Each structure stands twice: as structure tokens, then as C-alpha cells.
Amino acid sequence: MMARLLPVLAKAAEGVAAGMLAAIFATFILQIVARYIFGWSLGWTIELSLSLWLWLVLFTCAFVLRERDHVKFDVLVTSLRPGARRICALLASISIFAALLASVPDSWDYVTFYKIKKSAVFRIPLIWVFSIYIIFLVAVIARYGWRIAAILRGYNPDLDQRDIMAD
């Protein structure tokens, strides 16, 4: 069941990200046309573009990008044997998991503080704009928790397979 549901959710997340990118592009084109053809200044287009950009980056990182899609500086790690690489992946995953988990209380306080502030043009509470960070935080913590469990079960994420022979 879960094996069939994950690809559907992945495609849905890609669709949401593509929709946000399309909305940013359409807003950008509208802003250019309004300013340079009609001489109008549309302040809301900047606010919408910036808010969508924040949501696009964090949403995509949390739900669309795979681990191997991220930029890594792994020159030293790739020169190690598979078992040592798995240990490095485990240590890196634990570090990211712990750091993000430790940041939850302060991040929650910061984002919920924005319930009293409103955006300049749309006048919506800024908690709605910045709430994507909490969603991102929970998703990435869950992802790295899952990754830690997988590595401990013998999965080597750098090889994308189980280690048949331990070093």
C-alpha cells in the first residue's frame, strides 16, 4: 500500500511545486506588463512572488528533492570504503537530525510570533507565510530519522543499496 502511495504523493508534490513556480512566473510577467506597458505599479505582485518563492524553496526541499539531489562536498567521503561511507552518512544524518530537532522550540516561537503581524499588501497574518518553515522542519526531521533507521538496518545511502559485505 505505502509503496504505491509514495510515488503518487511524490508526483503530487512535484505538481504543487510546479504550480508555485508557474504562479511566480505569471506574477513576474504580469508585473512587467503592468509596469512597462501600462505604467501601473502593482505592489501585490512583489509580495506574492516573495511569499511563493519562500514556499517553493522550503516545500521543494522538504517534499520533492531526494537526498542525492542536494549539493554535497563529498570528495573525502567518496574516497572511503563503503562501510566507512555508511558511518559518515550516519554521523551526518544524526547531526542534521539533532540540530533541526533542537531548533524546533525556538523556530516554533519565532513563527508563531508572526500571528500578530500582517503582510504589507494582502494584510494576511505572517504566520501563514512563515508556517512553511515548520512544515519543512517536521518533514526534514522525519526524513533524517527515517534515513538514520535505514542506515542502521544496513542500507548504504551512498551506494543506494544494502551492504552485502561489511568492510
Provide the grid cell at 45: 505582485
- Among 42, 63, 84, give the residue marking a domain's end: 63
Same domain, 89 and 146: yes
Q: Which domain range does residue 25 map to?
A: 1-63
Same domain, 85 and 36: no
Same domain, 77 and 157: yes
Same domain, 118 and 155: yes
pLDDT of residue 158: 62
Q: Is the pLDDT of residue 166 over 60?
A: no
Same domain, 128 and 90: yes
pLDDT of residue 155: 79
Buried b (16+ CB within 10 A) or exposed e, 18-47: eebeeebeebeebbeeeeeeeeeebeebeb
- Among 63, 95, 117, give the residue marking a domain's end: 63
pLDDT of residue 159: 58
The answer to whether 85 and 163 are in contact (CB under 8 A) is: no
Same domain, 59 and 70: no
Q: Is the pLDDT of residue 106 over 50?
A: yes
Same domain, 111 and 42: no
Same domain, 149 and 135: yes
Q: Is the pLDDT of residue 160 over 60?
A: no
CA-based end-to-end distance of the chain: 35
Give the rounded percent of residues in the chain with a pLDDT score beyond 90: 71
Same domain, 42 and 98: no
Same domain, 110 and 154: yes
- pLDDT 10s digits, 47-100: 999 999 999 999 999 999 988 787 777 788 888 888 888 898 999 999 999 999
Q: How many domains does the chain have?
A: 2
Same domain, 59 and 92: no
Cell 542534521 locates to 96
- Among 40, 63, 86, give the residue marking a domain's end: 63
What's the predicted TM-score (pTM) here? 0.85
Instruction: Dihedral sign for Cα 20, 21, 26, 29, please.
Output: positive
Q: Is the pLDDT of residue 37 over 60?
A: yes
